[in-house]
Amino acid sequence: MRTQVCIIGAGPSGLLLSQLLHRKGIESVVLERKTKDYVLGRIRAGVLEHGFVELMREAGVGERMDREGYIHDGTVIAYDNHQFRVDFAARANATVMVYGQTELTRDLYAAREAENGKIIYNVDDVSIQDADGAAPYVEFNVDGNGQRIDCDYVVGCDGFHGVSRKTIPETVRKEYEKVYPFGWLGVLSETPPVHDELIYSNSTRGFALCSMRNENLSRYYIQCPLDHSPENWSDDAFWEELKRRIPEETAEKLITGPSIEKSIAPLRSFVTEPMRWGKLFLCGDAAHIVPPTGAKGLNTAASDIFYLYHGMAQFYIDGDTEGLDSYSEKALARIWKAERFSWWMSNMLHLYPEQSDFDRKMQRAELEFLESNESAQKVMAENYVGLPF
């Protein structure tokens, strides 16, 4: 088989890239290790930056998002039984969209299927060959049969545990990592959200986040030790702990119900450099991870796709490789800023196991400064709604 671009991974990054390329007349094949239902079963991100929202529209998949998504023009930060609001519209002249990763991925699958996009599921033993040569190809197995795709470019959209990043030799690849000493226990419940905006809460018992998917679907998180598992947490125990970590007035309004999903995610900051090696490009979680405190994971994937899609269009339409040649540098410049923002928000809001009284005072000073200072709110708002591509 031959194609122009072989994309590894049918998560949001891979699907969005193949959809955008298709609209420019560029052919791709997407290889996915799992099934579509498996990918759609993962409950992950919920907040889209305004630039990502535009990119979804440009990809022709914005219709349901625009109809069913919720525009948020601010967020609430709580600490010590007290809360304040950061107004994105006033401080950064932009908003975000609350629309779940599951729904966005479903829309991308529907679009690829409607346009006969080629996605091969249940692939095993994917290996990228001659990525640094003139004629790269990808080998893999499906149902025990070996197959090969020859292509111009390979794009690794295969997440943190994929094979693409590891294809780049260790002598070329440099990895930067910070692992946080806690995780997030997340619960999805068919209950109305406690508030019409997200609430990020720093409490003496640890971090909590009140988020949502729609008017009868809420997403809540609490910081938990890394050695806990979802089975340690009954629904009642989760709701009790959440109520103790948010301001009393909000806790009184919280409507609880059975969880329909419960999972624990570890928190990590990670970047690999470079994001291009020969004919291989890395996008999304394959190249970088952020802690979820700032909702940047999926959004950084989208900015990679933005740069790579434009670079590929420039090459296939105008024969100019400038966009591809500058991809890694441009993508990384933006990634590091999102890494900084997620790290800053994580530091400000979590309870660290070894935190001293001094560290706690620093967090409090950070929160008080943010609450009282318009410039600090402007910095936060600009980062939260998304820095320009």
Would you tell me which residues interact with ligand PHB (CB under 6 A)?
Answer: 45-47, 198, 211, 219, 292-295
Nearer to ligand PHB, 198 or 283 (CB): 198
Minimum CB distance to ligand RFL, residue 188 (Å): 11
Cα dihedral 333, 55, 287, 155 in deg (nearest 10): -120
Considering 109, 137, 200, 316, which one is annotated as catalytic?
200
Nearer to ligand PHB, 183 or 294 (CB): 294
Question: Pattern 154-173, binding to ligand RFL, x per CB under 6 A?
Answer: ---xxxx-xx----------
According to DSSP, the β-strands at 217-224 and 259-273 are unpaired
Q: Quick count: other Cβ atoms within 10 Å of Cβ 355? A: 12
CA angle (204, 291, 93) in 5-degree steps: 95
Minimum CB distance to ligand RFL, residue 163 (Å): 4
Contact 96, 47 (CB under 8 A): yes
Residue 50 binds which one of ligand RFL, ligand PHB, none, with CB within 5 to 8 A depending on kind?
none
Is 31 a residue that touches ligand RFL (CB under 6 A)?
yes
Cβ-Cβ contacts under 8 Å for 40 (sequence gap 6 or more):
102, 105, 106, 109
Question: Please, which of residues 218-247 interact with ligand RFL by CB under 6 A?
Answer: none
Give 2's DSSP letter: B
Contact 230, 264 (CB under 8 A): yes
> Total binding residues for ligand RFL by CB under 6 A?
33
200 annotated active-site: yes
Separation CA 309–CA 315 (nearest Å): 10
Nearer to ligand RFL, 74 or 386 (CB): 386
Minimum CB distance to ligand RFL, residue 105 (Å): 8
Minimum CB distance to ligand RFL, residue 142 (Å): 11
72 annotated active-site: yes
Site of tokens 């109520």: 243
φ, ψ for residue 153 (rounded to 5)? -135, 150
Minimum CB distance to ligand PHB, residue 69 (Å): 12
Q: Which of 20, 104, 254, 301 binds ligand RFL (CB under 6 A)?
A: 301
361 annotated active-site: no
Cβ-Cβ contacts under 8 Å for 203 (sequence gap 6 or more):
78, 79, 80, 244, 245, 246, 351
Considering 22, 50, 72, 195, which one is annotated as catalytic?
72
Question: Pattern 90-119, binding to ligand RFL, x per CB under 6 A?
Answer: -----------x------------------
**Helix, strand or coil, per DSSP, at residue 358:** helix
Nearer to ligand PHB, 292 or 323 (CB): 292
Question: Please, which of residues 278-297 interact with ligand RFL by CB under 6 A?
Answer: 284-285, 292, 295-297
Is 331 a residue that touches ligand RFL (CB under 6 A)?
no
Separation CA 270–CA 126 (nearest Å): 23
Nearest CA-CA partner of 298 in 310, 308, 288, 312: 288
Separation CA 365–CA 203 (nearest Å): 14
Cβ-Cβ contacts under 8 Å for 85 (sequence gap 6 or more):
74, 75, 76, 77, 197
Minimum CB distance to ligand RFL, residue 41 (Å): 11
Token pair of 151 as six digits: 């292509």
Is 209 a residue that touches ligand RFL (CB under 6 A)?
no
> Among all residues, which ones are annotated catalytic?
72, 200, 292, 296, 384
Binding site for ligand RFL (CB under 6 A): 8-14, 31-34, 39, 44-46, 101, 123, 126, 157-160, 162-163, 265, 284-285, 292, 295-298, 301
